[in-house]
Amino acid sequence: MKMNPIVVYKFESKAEKKLFPVFEQTDIEGATVFHSLNIPKHEKKQWAEADFVVVSNRGILILEVKGGRLSVEQGSWYTKDRDDNVKRLKESPVEQAKSARFALEKMLREKSLNIKFDKINFGFGVMFPDVKLGDVGIELTKDIVFDAIDWDRKKLRSWLMKLYKYWVGCTGKAEHLTSEEVAIICSALRTEFDREKSLLAEVGDSWQQMISLTEQQYLAVDMILANKQVVVEGAAGTGKTLVAIRACKVLDAQKENVLFVCQSPVLASFAGGWLTETEVQVVNFNSLKLKVSRGEKLDFSVLIVDEGQDILDVESIDILDSLFAEGLNSGRWYVFMDPNNQSSLYADYDASALEYLEESSFKAPLTRNCRNTLQIAQHTLMYTGGDIGKFPIRADGLPVIWKNLHFDSSEAQLALIEEQLTSWVDDESVSLGDITLLSPLNFEESVVNKLSKRWRRKIVIINDSYGERWLDTQLSFSSIRDFKGLENRYVMLIDLDALLARTHSTNQLYVAMTRANSVLWMATPMKHQAWFDERRLENEQAYVDYLHKNRNG
């Protein structure tokens, strides 16, 4: 059966771990198995978790797994591990499966899917692969229980077929689902279920905001595995790095030797952190150039390049070409890039470099923004001309904070920054870890170097030594260049007087604005107000078209 996710790096129990490959090897036509499905709006708690959910044309089965030695005494369930440690279960596995089954149906109904729910055969079962049912000490209907005997006899398929039949007898729903209806259900579960960790954002007590990959992004991952050479294009916020990292993990699980390359040393450091449980080699482009110049041979079978627009020059493409014995045309590679001219902070764009990549490759677009709010998208378009998603953005948010935030001196800018930090942290209880200060300058040159001790002593400077999230109590500072590929919930864009004095100011502004998930703050220098007025006039028609697209999309 088709598994979702394809790879699991950490199982909650040994029982789930040993059952996972058996589900994968079991042949039920058109069936998909979801592992560890979080179900919201549970009747007894905020979230329910189903260990395995099987979706096929016969219906939907919710399965609860309990490993170890199980026993029931006076209505309470207990489990005992190898060291004879006894643990009382908060809830009967049967009740867990039953309540999760109804929570799942409720969740799917609320999605208003284009299917007839009354024909779906919903059912549930429990799996005890380490114990015989007769040894548990409670009478259960054998039809809904998979036990050690079934495990030993390798009867998973026959048990699932019997379980479907049992629930048809209970519900009277014998009509099979069409393949289209099964696909609709799987798509809905896929979006709800496999929530990849966002690269840096945080919500509440968790250090990473959980965002859902769109179905389009899943298809992009599936597609790159089915093609030898692919250029994946997507504007800022469309999940390129997220998809690239997922592709690395899947390829690694398939025993491929993967080489992940990006220009930014900081992004490379974070990517290395995200891929610690794999054998993927992560290297920034400057280090790669050094290795090539020394004649070092890199042992890999698949090349993945993120932020590919940063190396779209002939010299860089020649270096990538040299990695393969017979050149890029002979190798297996996937390049993720932003087609907007504003996105590159490193290389002088060379059309021939992109043409060379596209000669033998398949092109896959990522067009739905999954990072920024509508307000941030509109502001970015208005003042940079950069499109950050072809599809309408549904995530409505707060207005960009920038009106009347003008300064004519470093002291005035400092006052604005400290006033906003005080408001967020003291008045609105925003975690410092949620806030990033972005500047075109390094820390020593930036105005933040002159912040009061209260804020300055809490600043952590993001550089290539970071491979994981900073502390909740730390206020992060980064140069715009070093923060490419990363993001945070609140972004303060500072030192714009220095940025607008540079030749590639629009490029940096585009990258900086699109690092914000929810709230973008920017104070503008009085002497450069004309620059913003000019950009607004230049991009006015594109802005109007964008508003029309979102209104009608």
- pLDDT by residue (tens digit) across 330-346? 999 999 998 875 555 55
Please check whether residues 378 and 358 belong to one and the same domain: no
* Predicted local distance difference test score (pLDDT) of residue 488: 87
Last residue of a domain, one of 366, 382, 410: 366
How far is 531 from 541, CA to CA, in rounded Å?
Answer: 18
How far is 32 from 53, CA to CA, in rounded Å?
Answer: 8
Cβ atoms within 10 Å of 210's Cβ, excluding its own: 12
Q: Within 13 A of 518's CA, how many CA atoms are on the CB side?
A: 14
Lowest mean pLDDT across 22-36, 82-96, 105-119, 288-302? 82-96
Last residue of a domain, one of 366, 391, 420: 366
How far is 33 from 43, CA to CA, in rounded Å?
Answer: 24
DSSP helix/strand/coil, 333: strand
Q: Is residue 203 part of a domain?
A: no
- What percent of the chain lies above the pLDDT cut of 70? 85
Judged against a pLDDT cut of 90, whether residue 130 lies above it is answered with no
Please check whether residues 75 and 166 belong to one and the same domain: yes
* Predicted local distance difference test score (pLDDT) of residue 270: 85
DSSP helix/strand/coil, 231: strand
Q: What is the pLDDT of residues 213-238, one digit of tens each?
A: 455 566 668 777 788 999 998 877 77
Q: Is residue 210 part of a domain?
A: no
Instruction: Kindly state the helix (H) or strand (E) to which residue 387 belongs, with its residue range.
Output: none
Please check whether residues 189 and 225 belong to one and the same domain: no
Judged against a pLDDT cut of 90, whether residue 397 lies above it is answered with no
Please check whether residues 250 and 345 belong to one and the same domain: yes
Which residue do the tokens 């972005």 mark?
438
Judged against a pLDDT cut of 80, whether residue 11 lies above it is answered with no
Cα 442 to its chain centre, rounded Å, is 29
Cβ atoms within 10 Å of 135's Cβ, excluding its own: 12
Q: Is residue 540 part of a domain?
A: yes
Q: Is residue 44 part of a domain?
A: yes
8 A C-beta contact, residue 55 and residue 186: yes
Cα 109 to its chain centre, rounded Å, is 25
424-429: average pLDDT? 86
Q: Which domain holds residue 300?
A: 215-366
CA angle 139, 142, 144 (to 5 degrees): 110
Please check whether residues 401 and 503 belong to one and the same domain: yes
pTM over 0.85? The answer is: no
Number of domains composing the chain:
3
Q: Which residues pair with 516 in a beta bridge?
A: 488
- HEC string of 122-146 equals EEEEEECCCCCHHHCCCCCCHHHEE
Q: Is residue 205 part of a domain?
A: no
Please check whether residues 344 and 476 belong to one and the same domain: no
8 A C-beta contact, residue 311 and residue 317: yes
64-69: average pLDDT? 87
Q: What is the pLDDT of residues 262-301, one digit of tens each?
A: 998 889 988 898 898 899 999 999 999 999 999 998 999 9
Q: Is residue 198 part of a domain?
A: no
Parallel, antiparallel or unpaired: strands 475-479 and 435-439: parallel
How far is 251 from 270, CA to CA, in rounded Å?
Answer: 19
Q: Is residue 132 part of a domain?
A: yes
Q: What is the pLDDT of residues 241-264, one digit of tens each?
A: 888 998 999 899 889 999 999 998
Please check whether residues 391 and 329 belong to one and the same domain: no
The dihedrals phi and psi of 312, each to the nearest 5 degrees, come to -90, 60
Please check whether residues 254 and 162 belong to one and the same domain: no
Please check whether residues 225 and 131 belong to one and the same domain: no
**In a 10 Å sphere around its CB, with 0-12 CB exposed, 13-18 middle and 19+ buried, how is residue 169 labelled?**
exposed
Last residue of a domain, one of 348, 366, 384: 366
Q: What own/partner pairs with CB < 8 Å and gap ≥ 24 does 540-547 have?
A: 542/381, 542/385, 542/387, 543/378, 543/381, 543/382, 546/377, 546/378, 546/381, 546/387, 547/378
How far is 263 from 422, CA to CA, in rounded Å?
Answer: 35
Q: Is residue 411 part of a domain?
A: yes
Please check whether residues 222 and 306 belong to one and the same domain: yes
Find the CATH number of the domain harbouring 530.
3.40.50.300
Phi-psi region of 449 (alpha: psi -120 to 50; beta: other; left: phi over 0): alpha
Please check whether residues 240 and 265 belong to one and the same domain: yes
Which string of DSSP letters, residue by residue, matches 529-543? Answer: HHHHHHHHHHTHHHH
Q: What is the torsional sign of CA 109, 115, 116, 118?
A: negative
How far is 545 from 551, CA to CA, in rounded Å?
Answer: 10
Please check whether residues 139 and 37 belong to one and the same domain: yes
Judged against a pLDDT cut of 70, whether residue 184 lies above it is answered with yes
8 A C-beta contact, residue 476 and residue 436: yes
> Rounded to whole angstroms, what are the CA distances from 375 to 267, 395, 397, 398, 401?
26, 9, 6, 7, 10
